[in-house]
Structure 1
C-alpha cells in the first residue's frame, strides 16, 4: 500500500484540519490497540492504578447483557507517516509506527487490564466455563474505541495538547454526573426512589448542586441519597462486596423505600430545616443510613426499634452532637462537620450510644 515498501495497516476513517494541524478519526479494535498505542511519560501525568482497575472492572461489567457502558474517544499523536485515501475513506498507518496517547491513558490501560484479566480466566479454566470465557474474550477483542489522531506534532505540541484537553475541560459536579449515570445500581435506585417515594418527593432531592444552603428546603443532593441507600444496604458507601446485585435489586428497592417511609414518619415534620436540625446535613443522613444497617444486621430491625429515633433531639443545640464527628460553632449556632466520613461515623456511633444497644 505504500510506495516506500512499508507494511501498512488500514482503518476506516476521516481526515480534517484543526488550527492548521492535520487530524484524523478512526476506530481501533481493543484486540490490536496495544500494537499501535503507547504512553510517553513526558507528555502524560502519572498513571493512577486504582483508576485503571476501576475502568477495567467497568469494561468487564459492560460485556454482561443489559449493562449500559460507554468509553469516549482516545486522543493520540501519530509519530510517523499517515496516508489517507479520500476515495475509500481509509486511514493507513505503518505497522511499526507508534501513536502516543495524549488523552485517555487510563481508558487505554483499563482496556489492556480487562483483556489480560479475561485471557487469564481463559487460560485457567476448563470445559464449558472456558468456552464462556473465550466467547467473552472474543467479544472484548472485537470491540472498538474511537481514536482522534493528530499527525506529527512535536513533543512541545503534545504537551500543550495534553494541557488543553485535560485542564480546559469543565468537569461536571458529582451530582450532575450521577444524574446521568445508569451503570451504578445504587445511583439507579436513588434516581428511581426520588421520583417514587412520597417522602422524598415531598422534601425534594437536588440533582445539580453538590451542597445545599440553609435557605434551600430540599432535603439532600442526589449523591447523598445514593450514599445513604448504600449505607443502608451494605454498611458503606462503596459496597466492595457487591451486596446489591441485579438479582436482588427490586427486593432491596422495596425494602429501602419502606425504611425511608418509616424513618421520615418519626423524624420532625420540618426536618429539612438545616438552620434548626442536623438532619439535612450530608453526614447525618448517611450516618442514619449506616445506623439502619446496624439495626438490620445486629439488632433484628423492627418497627419498634426504628421508631426509637423519634425520641432523638436533632437540633444543633443538642450537646450530644458536639464531638460526634463535628463541633458546635457558637457564632453560627450550629454543628459543623469537618469531613463527611468522620461525621458519618460520629453520627452512627452517637445514635447507638443515645438509643442503647437495642431500642
Structure 2
C-alpha cells in the first residue's frame, strides 16, 4: 500500500454523500477549511483538519489552494475526425442549427484510419483531464455503419480498459445517414439489428437523438428497448430543438439513466423528472454555441430533479471539454449557486452514470482530485475564463 497526503488545502469540497442534508447542495461539513486529504492505493482513505492529518509515504503541500472532486463529464462525443468550423461561423452569422450537420463529421470519420481516430480521442481526453475532468462518458455515433460504429466502440472500450474512459455509449441512432435518406425505417432496423449486435459487448449504454430531424418518439423507443434487451443502460438526447418528440417523457417512462439537453420543456415535465430516477443533464456550452435558450437548470433543481452538468464535447455544437467553463456558465447565466453548479458537475454526472464511487471525496471514493490555482472555488465564476486548474489526480495518479 502506498499513501499520499495532500495538505495545505484552503477549501476541501468533499461533497461526501454521508454528510448530505435534504435540499442542500453542500453542507458546511462537506466544505472544510485548512484541510488535508489522504490517498491510499487510488482511493480516498481520510480527510479532515490539517492539524489532525495522519502520516503518509509522501506529503504534498498545496500551499493554500482549493480542492474539488474531479469533474464528471457524463456526455461527450469524442470519436470523430473532420472540421465544422465553417458551419459554426455560419451559425454565428445567423443561420439556425439543424440536426443534419452531423453528416459532415460522419463522412470525415469514416475516412479516418483506426490509428488516427484513437490518437484524436487520446488527445481530447488529455485536454479534458488537464482542465480537471477525471471521469468521461464517450459515445459512438459518427460512423453510422456497422463497421464504423463497431470500431468506434472498440476504440473506446480499449480506452476504458486503460482507465481513460469510464463509460462507453452506443449512439448509432444519432442521425439517419445520407445513404439512407428517406429510408429511416430501414436504417433503424440496421441500428437495432446488426449494428447493436456488433457493439453491445463493448458498450455500457445506448443513446438516441429523439428529436425533430433525427428520430421520432416511437422510433427512439424501439432503439432503447432493443438496447435494454441487449443489457445496456439507457440514455436519451431529448428536448433540444423542441418538445415535440417528448424525449424527456420517453426517458422517464423507460427508466433511462439520463435525459440530456432539455432546452424546451412541456407542461408537467419538471414534475416528471423530479418524481423519477432519471438525471436531467444540462449542456451549457452547447446552448451557447447554438444560441439556444439555456436549459432551465434553476427550475429543474427547484422542482427536485437531479441535475448534471456536462460538456457535450463534439465537433458541431460544443467543441469544448472545458467543464470549468460549463460551471462558470451555470453560475453566471443559469442562476445556480456555486455549490449547486459544482455538485451538478461532479455528483450529478456520477449519478447520470450510475456511479456512487465518483464525483466526491468521501472515504472510499476513487481519488479524483482537482486542485485549483486559487484559495477560493468561487473564482470559477468570479474570474471567468481564467485558467484555474493547478494539478489533477485521477484514481490517485497525477496527470502530468
| TM-score interval (norm. to shorter) | under 0.3
Structure with bigger RCO (C-alpha 8 Å, 6+ apart): 2
Q: TM-score, normalised by structure 1?
A: 0.20
Q: Highest Rg: 1 or 2? A: 1
More helix by share: 1
Q: TM-score, normalised by structure 2?
A: 0.18
